[in-house]
Chain A
Amino acid sequence: MSNSLDNFAARLSTQLHESLDAAPIADVPWVAARPSVGARARGRRRGAWMRAMMLAAAAAVIAVVVVAQPSSRHASPPVTPGRPQALTVLATAAVGGTTPASLAAGGGWVFAGLWDSGQLLRLDPTTLHTTATLQIGTAGSGPLSIAYGNGAVWVLNFDDGRLWRVDPATMTASLKVQLPAQPSQVAVGDGAVWVTVCCTSSDTSTRQRLLRINPETGAITGMRAVAGDGETVPLALGPEVVVTSQNGPILVIDPNTMDVVSALPDVCTGCDETAGLVAGPEGLYVTSLSSVARYDPHSGRLLATSPAMSVVGMPLSVQSDGIWIAAGDRLLRLDPSSLAVTAQAPVAVTGHLVELPHSIYVSFGGAIDRLGSTN
């Protein structure tokens, strides 16, 4: 940052403190502020409290309906179709730092990229014990995004601006590819490594690009400009390569020619940031204002919309058993077709998530959890 902006930032900080510290904040005692008491005392709609009450009311309605069924006509026990399966924490790894780890799974391991320590960890998928460590960058600037594919772990190193290919057995780097701009996201599929980049250290203007990289040689074999103006450039691999950027269309890319097959405009009208994006056999999944939507990647037709939820955005993942998303303070699994909620777990602030059979791995600041069903 230039000196003039540094000086401006110092003045701005002072002005913000003067303005916000002068705001007339009422002193509400803790007891009165607790949700149940506060909601009644102040007579306002309280988001979390009201949601809990609405859920309780919905449960009561369901109970009434079940009780009202003529029992003699149904010998089988009552069922509650669509009731979400509850998940529990089966193992936890304390990994330090405050930034959620990037996660990848493959080759029988789970891998974690730790931004705060600049390390790549290889973890036992059951116990989450660390079985090997590789220093990728420096503390506070290292593995930005990781992926597993072609028998290797692929790491975007923000510190040196390179893509690293890491042998998962020896945890040593076997290839380093210099990238033309600041890395954003990496994915592996269709016989290539796909990387999105944006900006340089001296230029934060909007020049997002999608790169196709040969996994054996590291040669950049294709490049496609991505419209938009976000520094984070989400990338998703499914039947197609899909990429987008803030305020830009979602581009469906032919992996061979890198031509744009289709473009979905305005899928997140009103969003001020890049949508969460994944691709699966049943379509493209995009986070919108307060839900997840499924689109046909070729026609752009809206196929399904999830129930309303507090969408965080990026922690969205397509897996064999459904679509996973961090929504507010819950981790939800959605049916890939209807987008109905089929499983959930309470989480704090979720960073990244990845799945192996029977387990899903979630990163938080300082920890990684393995979640699963106990039954």
Chain B
Amino acid sequence: MSDDVAEPPGRDELVAVLYHRHRTELVRLAYGLLGDLDGAEEIVQDAFAALLSRWPSIRDIESAPRYLRAAVVNGVRGRWRRRRVRELADKTLHRDPPATETDLVERSVVLAAVGRLPMRKRACVLLRYYLDLSEIETAAVLGTSVGTVKSQTSKALSQLAGLLEPEPSEVNR
């Protein structure tokens, strides 16, 4: 073989390409889901670490973005669940919850409204209307059915419309 035949890119090169293409978008997705920019960056970092360690089980570079999105959503879910447990414990023990960077008043009105949705509806909204994924792609990322994505998204939109555009004449025309 001649020397000018390039070797196919290896794992590190391909992950580097994915990082450059998707990292910012994933941090913004995680930020929209979690409301905490530092936490969002950590979750995305963890997602890429997981991608590196699980690379042999990734089918091809085309499926890697879906893996990363799912890893980010799952990472946010885990952190959000732990936060819920802490909040429940604080409530039970009559403690004042610590101030966090997630205070909704510090965020834009639309992100504050999205932050009031349950996690799955929040994920449906951001995957569909921020990342512009199809219902099928969204279902694949969330590991749920397309029917669930349809209904969760529909309910989430209704709730958001009530929060963001409460005038009946404008929303329910």
Which chain A residues have a beta carbon within 8 Å of chain B's beta carbons?
Answer: 1, 4-5, 8-9, 12-13, 15-21, 23-26, 28, 30, 33-35, 38, 44, 46-49, 52, 98-100, 115-116, 140-141, 144, 158, 182, 184, 199, 204, 231-232, 269-273, 289-290, 310, 312-315, 328-329, 346-351, 364-367
Contacts and interface: CB of A to CB of B under 8 A. Distances in A.
B148 A231 contact: yes
Contact of B54 (A19, A28, A289, A329): A329
B129 A182 contact: no
Identify which of A21, A33, A44, A329 gathers the most chain B CB atoms within 10 Å of its CB: A329
A19 B110 contact: yes
Contact of A33 (B45, B120, B144): B45
Interface string B44-83: 0110111011101111000100110011001100100110
Nearest to B85: A270
Given A35-B52, A272-B119, A15 B110 contact: yes
Contacts of B140: 98-100, 349, 365
Contacts of B63: 98, 348, 365-366
Given A4-B171, A204-B151, A231-B152, A349 B119 contact: no
Contacts of A98: 63, 66, 136-137, 140
Nearest to A331: B57
B28 A23 contact: yes
B171 to A, nearest CB: 6
7 contacts: A28-B41, A48-B46, A48-B53, A272-B118, A290-B81, A347-B54, A367-B59
Most chain-B Cβ atoms within 10 A of its Cβ — which of A19, A116, A269?
A19
Contacts of B95: none
Contacts of A52: 53
Contact of B66 (A26, A33, A140, A349): A349
A332 B73 CA distance: 20
Contact of B24 (A1, A16, A25): A25
B171 A16 contact: no
Interface stretch (B1-9, B97-105, B158-166): B158-166
Contacts of A18: 108
A348 B144 contact: no
Nearest to B130: A16
A71 B139 CA distance: 55
A26 B49 contact: no
A104 to B, nearest CB: 16
If over half of B's interface residues share one DSSP class (helix, strand or loop), that class is named, otherwise mixed; here it is helix
Interface of B: 16, 19-20, 23-24, 27-29, 31-32, 37, 41-43, 45-46, 48-50, 52-54, 56-59, 63, 66-67, 70-71, 74-75, 78, 81-82, 84-85, 88, 107-108, 110-111, 114, 118-120, 125-126, 129-130, 132, 136-137, 139-140, 143-148, 150-152, 154-155, 157-158, 160-161, 164-165, 171-173
A351 B88 CA distance: 31
A47 B46 contact: yes
A23 B110 CA distance: 13
A20 B31 contact: yes
A262 B173 CA distance: 45
A35 B49 contact: yes
Nearest to B173: A4
B129 A9 contact: yes
Contact of B110 (A12, A34, A116, A158): A12
A349 B20 contact: no
Contacts of A44: 42
Contacts of B74: 310, 312, 328
Given A12-B129, A204-B151, 18 more contacts: A4-B172, A4-B173, A5-B154, A8-B161, A8-B165, A23-B37, A26-B41, A33-B19, A46-B42, A47-B42, A115-B136, A144-B147, A231-B147, A310-B74, A328-B50, A346-B56, A348-B58, A349-B140
A202 B60 CA distance: 39
A308 B113 CA distance: 32
A115 B110 contact: no
A49 B49 contact: yes
Contacts of B129: 9, 12-13, 16
A23 B125 contact: no
Given A5-B158, A23-B28, A140 B20 contact: no
B29 to A, nearest CB: 8
A276 B49 CA distance: 27
Contacts of B78: 290, 310
Nearest to B56: A346
Given A140-B146, A346-B56, A33 B48 contact: yes
Contacts of B155: 204
A24 B143 CA distance: 30
Contacts of A140: 136, 146
A42 to B, nearest CB: 9
Contacts of A38: 45
B146 to A, nearest CB: 7
